[in-house]
Amino acid sequence: MRTDKLIFSEIRNGNNLIFEKVFHEHYNALVNFANQFLLDTNASEDVVQGAFIYLWENAKNIHLEKSIKAYLFRAVKNSCLNQLRALKIKDKHELLYLDSMMKLMDDEQRQDDEVLNNIKAALIKLPEQMSRVFHKKYLQELSIKEIAKEMSISENTVKVQLHKGRHSIRKILKVANTYFF
């Protein structure tokens, strides 16, 4: 204990050589200790370096109760626990964020389902050929050429049916600027 008080007294007086000796003597053991909490070598090294920096910068205000080693291990442990608490809070906020996003996605899905149901209802009101052209274009995702070939009509007829159908659906839905076909 006496030796620790002398060493600590030298650190308080700004003795770099003594501080470096303490650093090299305890650094690896402290990193291994911190790594047991954090499971991240880089974070553990940061915590240990932070403890040494704090010791160096605040030595005049630190009251050493036991040994320097005990002080450093306690400081590293406390810092690790603070980091773990911060991660828990971060994870809690991330979980709340994800939960909110899932609720928003559910709401959007319900709105999308409503829109889709309204469009399907509007499609039923279209003339038969126009409805079939729309169904093939937007639900089966066929090209104009494929629709023309499959229905034995010209590509221009498909284009006209799609154009008139979009106009009719907009009219039926009464939301001309919301849906783009």
For 147-169, write each residue's pLDDT tens digit: 999 999 988 888 888 888 877 77
3-state secondary structure of 1: coil
Q: How far apart are CA 81 and CA 88, in angstroms?
A: 11
- Topology annotation, domain 2-93: Rna Polymerase Sigma Factor; Chain: A (1.10.1740)
Instruction: Show me where the domains of the chain are located.
Output: 2-93, 126-173
126-173 folds as Arc Repressor Mutant, subunit A (1.10.10)
C-alpha 36: how far from chain center: 26
pTM: 0.50
Residues 96-114: what's their mean pLDDT? 60
30 vs 119 pLDDT, higher one: 30
Residue of 22, 25, 24, 2 lying closest to 11 (CA atoms): 22
